[in-house]
Copies of this chain bind each other. A is one copy, B any other.
Amino acid sequence: MLPADTKVVSVDDHIIEHPNVWQDRLAAKWRERGPLVRSEDGIPVWHYDGKRYPPLGLDAVAGDDPTEFKLDSKKFEAMRPGCYDPKHRLEDMDTDGIWASLAFPQFPRFAGQTFLEGADHELGLACVQAWNDFVLDEWCATDPARLIPLSIVPLWSAALCAAEIERTAARGARAITFTENPAALGLPSFWSDAWDPMLSALEETDTALCLHIGSSSRPIIPHADAPTPLIISLMSLLTMATLSDLVMSPVFVKHPRLKVILAEGGIGWVPYMLERLEQVWEKHRHYAKVNVAKTPAQCFRDNMWVCFIRDEAGVAARHEIGVDKILFEADYPHSDTMWPNSRVGLERALRDVPDDEARLIAGDNARRLLRIS
């Protein structure tokens, strides 16, 4: 059972950026070309690099009745202010029973893909840094004990990624968000040596590497008739692929102190996947170029963490996953959030779990990993 005094940590929430995040920070020469919002009948539509980015309706639905969920974009006024205002966010966290939150970007997308896609990467770097400064100086500064800084990185250059990791870690960032599959974005895969400078910077600064479902910009769409709920149901398969990719690869052999958080992929499938990876590794490593220094399951135990919102199968299998490898997510204000009942839902999920294990899952694992109190 979850003890009443447990301070719950959510390692996966989302900031809906207010319209001035970039306009407030970019140097004068960039400002006109930087991200800005134009209202279209009250819908806040982002514009950047000549492209139009309407917001996703399902990404700001905390508290909404699911029978009224719509795919259409939402007006700012129809969102809870906690979506974009950190003071209101803290109030909504109080209501939800959540003590601390690590939050991902929205307009830049989960791994900052928007600025990779933009043609001008000098401007892109300024935009990446502006978001990070917004998170450090505005969002998290509102309550540094409860709002934990996560950075985005300039995906087009591992050297620039390393520099931004060092810059933001020195200012308090505890994690970066990166892509679950670089090759899907036209970048070198995790199997190449290209990312070594970035991965070394993460090790040296003790910064976690968050890989969020969908951060490859490549959802699994089995066919043209697949409706949104089917595509949503298959998102965690991307996380299964990322876990498998990394533990077969040389990444953890080269970077033994790396800490990877697989965000929003669920946990109930982990025992199956680790067992399957061990079987394949046992039989098939001999003819193929895969990591042979340690087994896939050992790589997972040494270097990876997995996260859940609602996952009874995963809580039941926690000993096979590792009680110290599991983190909780509130996912505010996206459609999977249980807000305002995240803590209630977590208590229910942990009702048969011993107190010491419940404390680890609900907060202490995240606290140790992200070095927060």
Which residues from chain A sit less than 8 Å from chain B, CB to CB?
66-71, 181-184, 189, 191-192, 220, 222-230, 232-234, 236-237, 240-242, 244-245, 248, 266-269, 271-273, 275-277, 279-290, 310-314, 316-317, 320, 335-336
Contacts and interface: CB of A to CB of B under 8 A. Distances in A.
Contacts of A313: 271-272, 275, 317, 320
Contacts of A222: 181, 183-184, 189, 241-242, 245
Given A230-B248, A236-B276, A271-B316, 18 more contacts: A68-B286, A69-B284, A70-B287, A183-B223, A183-B224, A189-B223, A191-B225, A220-B237, A229-B284, A230-B245, A230-B290, A232-B280, A233-B280, A266-B272, A268-B269, A269-B272, A272-B311, A283-B336
A184 B223 contact: yes
Contact of A71 (B181, B220, B287): B287
A240 B234 contact: yes
Contacts of A240: 234, 237
Tell me if A's interface is mostly helix, strand, loop or mixed. Answer: helix
B245 A275 contact: no
Given A282-B66, A283-B66, A287-B70, A272 B229 contact: no
B233 A310 contact: no
Given A245-B230, A248-B227, A275-B313, A284 B66 contact: yes
B234 A244 contact: yes
11 contacts: A66-B284, A70-B287, A228-B287, A230-B245, A233-B248, A266-B276, A269-B269, A271-B312, A272-B311, A272-B313, A316-B317
Contacts of A236: 276
Contacts of A244: 230, 233-234
Contact of A286 (B67, B226, B314): B67
A333 to B, nearest CB: 14
Nearest to A310: B279
B266 A223 contact: no
Contact of A314 (B225, B228, B272, B310): B272
Nearest to A182: B223
A48 to B, nearest CB: 27
A69 B227 contact: no
A284 B228 CA distance: 8
Contact of A288 (B229, B276, B310, B314): B229
Contacts of A66: 282-284, 286
Nearest to A67: B286
A69 B286 contact: yes
A285 B274 CA distance: 32
A318 to B, nearest CB: 12
